[in-house]
Amino acid sequence: MNKDITIYDIAKDLGVSPTTVSRALNDHPAVNVKTKQRIFEAADQMGYRSNVFASNLRRKSTHNIGIIVPRLNSSFQSSVLAGMEKVANEAGFNLIISQSLESYEKEKANARSMFNSRVDGLLVSLAGNTEKTEHFQPFMDKGIPVLFFDRVASKPGCTGVIIDNRQAGYNATKHLIQQGCKHIAHALGNPNINVYAERLKGYKYALMDHDIPFSKDNVIHFDLNEEAGEDIAKRIIAMKPMPDGLFVSNDACAASCIRSLKQAGIAIPEDIAVVGFNNDVISRLIEPNLTTTHYPGYEMGEVAMKNLINHLSDSTEGVLQNTNTITLRSELIIRDSSLKKKSKV
């Protein structure tokens, strides 16, 4: 294996001191322009690579920010990551991205790897079965900021960037009620995850405020993916009486459910009005177009990354700890899948 070229090799080749080479490569004003040019050309010809990692460590910074997400194959998480990357790139930071695959154990392993990689800060959306957050304590003990987004830790003192999921769930359910729905089902993911738990609360409160009794039989728990849509449709069809409204906490799952319901001869929205969540591309492709909640993923990524980088740039300790929750606005986007009363909307 070829040996890495060092500043000592360049110095020996040009007959200058290693200090001069180091200063030139760092564009130090003490080295004249002609000498810098000679050193740059020699470094290029010899294949010299600067050891940025070692250099950053000497400055007690790697300029790397770690990100842990539940899954990378998610439209929402992709949008969040795009917002984060834009802000990080503009500020001169690199991203190290990993996925927990909804596993607490893998999330712990990812956190350990990020810590050992000496990231300057960490952004996390928790795995579905994560109940403890002790694996992030080593970061906090070292003064390395940890910021949660979307799926956030309930631990006091932790900063989270979220939307008001309770209000979003309320608005989705209220819209179905306003369309004349009296028997509304709600399909959601793991209720231990804060986003689903809060949307479920919003669903319950909307029913309560409109004097519609809540029934746990109308709450359907599933891993919300495209494949689950068919199973949810079967559950809906088997209900007696069949619901006239359905709120699904995921657009891909809602779209799949609509397709399966239509294949069974059920008209959307005439027989059952459907509302999704996230405003994914599929919501505009399925027929009828899907009513959904716009979840500002790109903005969430920008806000989370800006907050973290601002903390890293601020000499004041505890900036993150003083901001427990950052809440972004969401919006219900009404489309044909839920409009039973089209002339009145």
Measured CA to CA, the distance from residue 81 to residue 69 in angstroms comes to: 9
Separation between Cα atoms, residue 218 and residue 204, nearest integer Å: 11
One digit per residue, the tens of pLDDT, for the chain of length 345 reads: 456 788 888 989 999 998 898 888 877 888 888 898 898 888 888 877 665 545 554 556 788 999 999 999 888 999 999 999 999 999 999 999 999 999 999 999 999 999 988 899 999 999 988 888 999 999 988 889 999 999 998 776 678 999 999 999 999 999 999 999 999 999 998 888 889 999 999 999 999 999 999 999 999 998 777 778 899 999 999 999 999 999 999 999 999 999 999 999 999 999 999 999 999 999 999 999 999 999 999 999 999 999 999 988 874 444 455 556 899 999 999 999 999 876 544
Give me the pLDDT at residue 200, please.
97
Residues of the chain with CATH 1.10.260.40: 7-50
- E strands, the chain, are 64-69, 94-99, 121-124, 146-149, 159-163, 184-188, 219-221, 245-248, 273-275, 292-294, 325-328, 331-333
Which CATH architecture best describes the domain 7-50?
Orthogonal Bundle (1.10)
**In what helix (H) or strand (E) does residue 25 lie, and over which residues does it extend?**
helix 18-25
The answer to whether 149 and 125 are in contact (CB under 8 A) is: yes
- What predicted TM-score, i.e. pTM, was given to this entire model? 0.79
What dihedral do alpha carbons 329, 333, 334, 337 form, nearest 10°?
Answer: -120
CATH 3.40.50.2300 occupies which residues in the chain?
63-163+297-329, 165-295+332-344
Closest alpha carbon to 43 in 1, 76, 14, 72: 14
Two structure tokens written together for 7 = 């500043």
CATH class, 63-163+297-329 region: alpha beta
**DSSP-assigned letters across all residues of 231-253:** HHHHHHHHSSSPPSEEEES-HHH
Contacts 24+ apart (CB under 8 A), 316-322: 317/143, 319/145, 320/145, 320/146, 320/147, 320/159, 321/157, 321/159
Instruction: Give the helix ranges, DSSP H, for 96-164.
Output: 104-116, 137-141
The class (CATH top level) of 165-295+332-344 is alpha beta
Find the radius of gyration of the CA atoms of the chain. Answer: 26
**Cα gap 341→46, rounded to integer Å:** 73
Point out which residues pair with 310 in neighbouring strands: none
- Per the listing, tokens 């409160």 go with 205
